[in-house]
Structure 1
């Protein structure tokens, strides 16, 4: 069997980054940043108050000091007058600290007067002052290329002085589910039929990573049907679900093996039968048909392919303790839809482990617990790898 790391490296090698777009911040949510955003100016741009209160010379204020209020400094008021010895200035949060002041005393530690104020605490040099450039200096990297742009990242780009950012074009991903047994969601399945959940699953996962899914009409289990369905497809990547194993009616393998696509037994559970290659010059990933297998192989194999197209940073595999024990397949890395407990430990989302037909576990699971191929039994308290669900990162 082919090791998972080798298979993923092969998959990623098929991809080349898509071109760039320069878009307004409002259009960049969920896109992947193509060029690092740097600060156009210092942030903050000037020393400013972190509190509503009084700007003072720290050495002049102790408990009970009474002092004339020489100026009023609201936010956005421009350059304030210098602060002279023996006086203070009423100042609002975000307003520039006047020259000569070296501390701010919050209004709640005073009698809040506007003409002559009494202080109820001593001043400490530097207290409640945000210094110019303490967040970022002009030219500093603020948002690194390869990041998925969410609200926090776009806010940082705006604060750094940018109205637009360079992002990767959203790659187009053609999705093809196969199988005579499949019917549309909402239909009543007949004898031997099941609902096609894979088209929905793949479409949503492609969208979550940053691609544009194009769902092709489902393919029957007939020789030549897959090749015909893919003829003329214009996409950056093709992903198929089903028909990639060794069955007598596996149309994906029958049509594509030896025609630009290789099929492998990958050392993972679920997701053992897979194919990789190109069709009409377009990279293709051929996944198994069971929905849990589709979900897992997308996260493990197709996700990295799409992130390679987008130039996106690959998320790290984290670690967590197992809340309970479970068995693992000999010689195969295991990826188990799992639930995160309140103490940070994880347990399988269902009692059935990672078997590929357990579709309900996808709804309950929030992460994939990752167990190396050499481990045949996880015990409670053992450390396992954690892959965060792609859909958990959409916000």
Structure 2
């Protein structure tokens, strides 16, 4: 929705004045209302890493698909090994050899054995596998071996102990049965899940693709890290923080270098990025200054029909009061765009609260929000009335405490880097005493 100079409709359809201040919950509900999981596509296995399954996966066959040996040794009949000892071994005639991948299999008859390698199919007639360590390895010495001698005609092997039925055989279907659901829709595909899909014979899989997120910072004062910083300039950190945060959330993220405070240039950059974006995130230029070019370029009075869906708001939160959200591009179904504040802490906290849930929704994830908990705050903190405060903190799970880290300033990137959570102070609370309990948003996966 677009906020006009007069009135604007809120999420419930009521009218409010143009300088309305939205609550955090209202803004979050509004941005999530227009976002859905990306349409499912079929991908090759390695291309699907990090994606979420769009459907249940059912095994077409058993795994393992046949009985096979879990050891190098000899396939035997258990009756032929009863009472076998080192002093009185069972002497068996070796009638063949089976390697992994073998097709035709020799039959094991009474008094016979077949040399077998790990993973090889168990031959007919065999009831167990005697590991090579339980035999003399065909050496004829009667001493336990750790390797099998090269095969020779008329070879005999001495088995030095009883072998129980089924010993060292991996039975068909002992891992997965045909018709079994092995992965459910919504599961995230990592290395082990992709290995499972390959093991059951799947070459492709239907998934929700990872959203493509374009991140850019605005400001003529920005220089790229590693370049000389002149008077009045700063290194661009926001684009790195937000790109990394988007990747951590599960997106494919593209970082665009700092865009100068020029409305025409910004519009051109945004239009260039539309072809590779499912979501665009900007930082800076959303307040009320003379050079707040994001607001100038995208608000409905300046952006034209292509940008009419971008809404700039004031939120009852600190840091992160100014926010922008909407869609850009041709037609009613444009690309979602978040315009975040320029201060580094404000930008990152805004991303965690609003952008990350949208990325997770596009992925088709069930857990779109960061986990929360209650913790005992070890230090006293203050908060402005009427705003939900998000303070940086360090949460210790062992004793359930949280310690404030750094001050309230929205420029304190050093403190932000030392934090692993956000301490939440409600709008109606202006002070939290030491040892009081607070809500905590955990920032670690």
Q: Normalising by structure 2, report the TM-score.
A: 0.68
Q: Distance in 2 between matches of 1:346 and 1:125?
A: 56
Alignment deviations for residues 38-94 of structure 1 (CA, whole Å, 9 cap, x no partner): 323211111212222233444644451414144422211125344334444332111
Q: Distance in 1 between matches of 2:434 and 2:48?
A: 42
The counterpart of 2:181, out of the listed 132, 136, 141, is 141
Aligned to 2:90: 66
Map 1:313-352; keep pairs closer than 5 Å.
313-314=366-367, 317=370, 325=378, 330=383, 332=388, 334=390, 336=392, 351-352=405-406
Aligned to 1:127: 167
CA contact (8 A) 2:286 2:312 kept: no
Aligned to 2:72: 52
The runs of 5 or more residues in structure 2 that have no matched partner are 1-20, 140-154, 301-307
CA contact (8 A) 1:320 1:344 kept: no
Aligned to 2:444: 388
CA contact (8 A) 1:321 1:344 kept: no
CA contact (8 A) 1:316 1:387 kept: no
Alpha-carbon deviation of 1:256? Answer: 4.7
Q: Distance in 1 between matches of 2:437 and 2:134?
A: 50
Q: Distance in 1 between matches of 2:417 and 2:192?
A: 28
Q: Distance in 2 between matches of 1:285 and 1:137?
A: 47
The number of aligned residues is 383
Q: Find the residue that maps to 1:187 and give its secondary structure.
A: coil
CA contact (8 A) 1:240 1:287 kept: yes
Alignment deviations for residues 261-305 of structure 1 (CA, whole Å, 9 cap, x no partner): 1424254x6545433223343322122222343334333422221
Q: Distance in 2 between matches of 1:104 and 1:12?
A: 59
Map 1:153-168; keep pairs closer than 5 Å.
153-168=193-208
The counterpart of 1:305, out of the listed 358, 363, 367, is 358
1:238 aligns with 2:280: yes
CA contact (8 A) 1:270 1:334 kept: yes
Aligned to 1:213: 254
Q: Normalising by structure 1, report the TM-score.
A: 0.76
The counterpart of 2:119, out of the listed 79, 94, 103, is 94
Q: Distance in 2 between matches of 1:128 and 1:354?
A: 63
1:201 aligns with 2:241: yes
Q: Find the residue that maps to 2:351 and give its secondary structure.
A: helix
Q: Find the residue that maps to 2:336 and give its secondary structure.
A: strand
CA contact (8 A) 2:24 2:315 kept: no
Q: Distance in 2 between matches of 1:122 and 1:321?
A: 59
Aligned to 1:392: none
Alpha-carbon deviation of 1:160? Answer: 1.6
Alignment deviations for residues 154-190 of structure 1 (CA, whole Å, 9 cap, x no partner): 2222112122233445544343322343223223223
1:283 aligns with 2:297: no
Alignment deviations for residues 238-268 of structure 1 (CA, whole Å, 9 cap, x no partner): 211123346665444465566531424254x
Compared with structure 1, are the counterparts of its residues 329 and 103 closer, same or farther at alpha carbon in structure 2 (3 Å cutoff)? farther
Alpha-carbon deviation of 1:379? Answer: 6.2
- Stretch of structure 1 that moved more, 181-190 or 271-280: 271-280
Alignment deviations for residues 359-386 of structure 1 (CA, whole Å, 9 cap, x no partner): 3456666xx4254546947869999653
- Stretch of structure 1 that moved more, 224-233 or 207-216: 224-233
Map 1:350-369; keep pairs closer than 5 Å.
351-352=405-406, 356-360=410-414, 368-369=420-421
- Stretch of structure 1 that moved more, 241-250 or 175-184: 241-250
Q: Find the residue that maps to 2:259 and give its secondary structure.
A: coil
- Stretch of structure 1 that moved more, 97-106 or 375-384: 375-384
Q: Distance in 2 between matches of 1:317 and 1:67?
A: 65
Aligned to 2:150: none
